[in-house]
Chain A
Amino acid sequence: MKVKVIVTLKDGVLDPQGKAIQQTLNGMSFSNVKQVRQGKYFDIEVNIEDEEKAKIKVEEMCKKLLANLVIEDYRIL
């Protein structure tokens, strides 16, 4: 089955790319953009059929490699 993961910077961690995107959007007259936070998206195909078991495995992957928990949070969708 496929498991989707989103990794984002924790609240309060500086995101220079997000900031640059926000400023660019503001400059393109999207003046209502207040903040942009950039993240990463992973589409992971595992040969585990049971959804719960697959998500437990993916959670382990998030902790060990996909996210650096010093600055990032992960969400398994």
Chain B
Amino acid sequence: MKSSVIIFPGSNCDRDMDVALKKFGFKNQMIWHNNPTIPKSDLIVLPGGFSYGDYLRCGSIAAKSKIIKSVIEFANSGGLVLGICNGFQILTETGLLPGILQQNIYQKFICKNVHVKVNDKENKYFSSIKKEILELHIAHNEGNYFCSNDELKSLKDNSQIAVTYCDKNGKESEEFNPNGALSNIAGIFNKNKNILGMMPHPERVIDKSLSSNDGNFFFENLIKNLK
């Protein structure tokens, strides 16, 4: 399975993602944003970081970069596109995913482990995943997911809410919502569920020596589903 990680100026989780993808058997290639095309891939990843210094709005400048046209074409033809953190912000700014990531409600950069619940398994990302409540890492200042009431209804009606913040037993409540996100949303799909954007970083928790290794469940399962 071939994957491509797109690097923008200011991306800083690109290499973590590279390590994670390779660990689980992806043949990964790193692609600089100035490339007009992307080599043949089974998965494209927009990594976390602070592309273009978060100027204007997080992800807004990257969403207009040269390579994005190829990402959009790939996504629209059914290709798998995964956006983590800043990658999620970029996906909303391109319009591939609805809504926007606003500043965290308490105006703090949050860097900690959280639990998220897998809400939908009818997709390539989470189908047959062995664990449904994952301990993943978040590190963001703008992770407060917002969309209109109509869009939220549409997300719910089409089972597009991928992962939600919860406690370790899967209980969702405001108490376990770190950033004020609507309906505890930590990640969403597009309607076809080939595009996934999420704030938590599975690539940061892929080894026992780290604070969690639940990222293993995500990547192991993803490559298995793609084969």
Using a CB–CB cutoff of 8 Å, the interface residues on chain A facing chain B are 13-14, 16-17, 20, 65-66, 68, 70-71
Proximity bits, B76-113, A CB within 8 Å = 1, else 0? 00000000000000001100001110111111000000
Bound complex: CA of A17 vs CA of B107, how far in Å? 7
CB-CB under 8 A from B107, the residues of chain A are: 16-17, 20
Bound complex: CA of A36 vs CA of B100, how far in Å? 22
Within 8 A of A (CB), among B18-66: 56-57, 60, 64
16 contacts between A and B (CB under 8 A): A13-B146, A16-B103, A16-B105, A16-B106, A16-B107, A65-B56, A65-B64, A68-B57, A68-B60, A68-B93, A68-B100, A70-B99, A70-B100, A70-B147, A70-B148, A71-B146
- Known contacts A16-B107, A68-B93; 13 further A-B pairs (Cβ under 8 A): A13-B102, A14-B102, A14-B105, A16-B106, A17-B107, A20-B107, A66-B56, A68-B60, A68-B100, A70-B146, A70-B147, A71-B100, A71-B146
Bound complex: CA of A13 vs CA of B100, how far in Å? 12
Q: Distance in Å from the Cβ of B155 to the closest Cβ of chain A?
A: 13
The total of Cβ contacts below 8 Å across the A-B interface reads 33
Using a CB–CB cutoff of 8 Å, the interface residues on chain B facing chain A are 56-57, 60, 64, 92-93, 98-100, 102-107, 144, 146-148, 180
CB-CB under 8 A from B60, the residues of chain A are: 65, 68
CB-CB under 8 A from B144, the residues of chain A are: 14
Q: Distance in Å from the Cβ of A9 to the closest Cβ of chain B?
A: 9
Bound complex: CA of A65 vs CA of B59, how far in Å? 11
**4 tightest Cβ-Cβ pairs between the two chains A and B:** A70-B100, A16-B107, A16-B103, A71-B100
Bound complex: CA of A67 vs CA of B93, how far in Å? 10
Residue of A14, A17, A68, A71 with highest tally of chain B CB at under 10 A:
A68
Bound complex: CA of A72 vs CA of B88, how far in Å? 19
Bound complex: CA of A66 vs CA of B147, how far in Å? 18
CB-CB under 8 A from A13, the residues of chain B are: 102, 146
Let me know if A71 and B56 touch, CB within 8 A: no
Identify the closest chain A residue to B104 (Cβ).
A16
Q: Distance in Å from the Cβ of A27 to the closest Cβ of chain B?
A: 16
Q: Distance in Å from the Cβ of B197 to the closest Cβ of chain A?
A: 14
Q: Distance in Å from the Cβ of B103 to the closest Cβ of chain A?
A: 5
Q: Distance in Å from the Cβ of A68 to the closest Cβ of chain B?
A: 6
